């Protein structure tokens, strides 16, 4: 399993932006499909975005489409994926998890590697 570490969460006002990062030093990351899930209090975990490898194609949930952008940077020694979140809404409040696996889709069971999560809180 790939070791993943998220950062970048925090408190932001409605309409604001945050950029989440997910870092790993494991070389196998370079061939993995990576993504983000989130879980709000009292709700089920839900898919947010994923990015495949070769080609680097991105896919989004309906709630993320048009506001969030997932990207990956393999240029540095520590490989990193990002989730740029714009025009944030109170309903975006959740713990966001970075995930990865060799081949994966939109289900959380597709991903064998999970980070510990980072809290995003959007205040109105």
pLDDT tens per residue, range 60-112: 999 999 999 999 987 766 679 999 999 999 999 999 999 999 888 899 999 99
Q: Which is nearest to 66 in space by CA: 87, 45, 81?
A: 87
What pLDDT score does 31 carry?
A: 85
Q: Which is nearest to 109 in space by CA: 44, 57, 19, 17?
A: 44
Where do we find the tokens 């990351």? 29
Whole-angstrom Cα distance, residue 101 to residue 35? 9
Measured from the Cβ of residue 32, the count of other Cβ atoms closer than 10 Å reads 26
The greatest distance separating any two alpha carbons of the chain, rounded to the nearest whole angstrom, comes to 41
Mean pLDDT, all residues of the chain: 93
Which strand ranges, in their side-by-side order, compose the sheet holding 68-73? 5-7, 18-24, 79-85, 68-73
């Amino acid at each position: 399993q790939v070791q993943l570490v998220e950062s970048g969460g925090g408190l932001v006002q409605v309409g604001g932006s945050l950029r989440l990062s997910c870092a790993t030093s494991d070389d196998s990351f370079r061939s993995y499909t990576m993504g983000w899930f989130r879980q709000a209090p009292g709700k089920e975990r839900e898919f947010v975005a994923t990015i495949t490898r070769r080609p680097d194609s991105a896919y989004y949930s309906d709630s993320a489409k048009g506001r969030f952008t997932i990207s990956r940077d393999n240029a540095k020694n520590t490989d990193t994926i990002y989730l740029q979140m714009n025009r944030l809404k109170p309903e975006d409040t959740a713990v966001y998890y970075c995930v990865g696996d060799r081949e994966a889709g939109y289900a959380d069971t597709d991903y064998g590697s999970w980070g510990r999560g980072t809290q995003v809180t959007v205040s109105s």
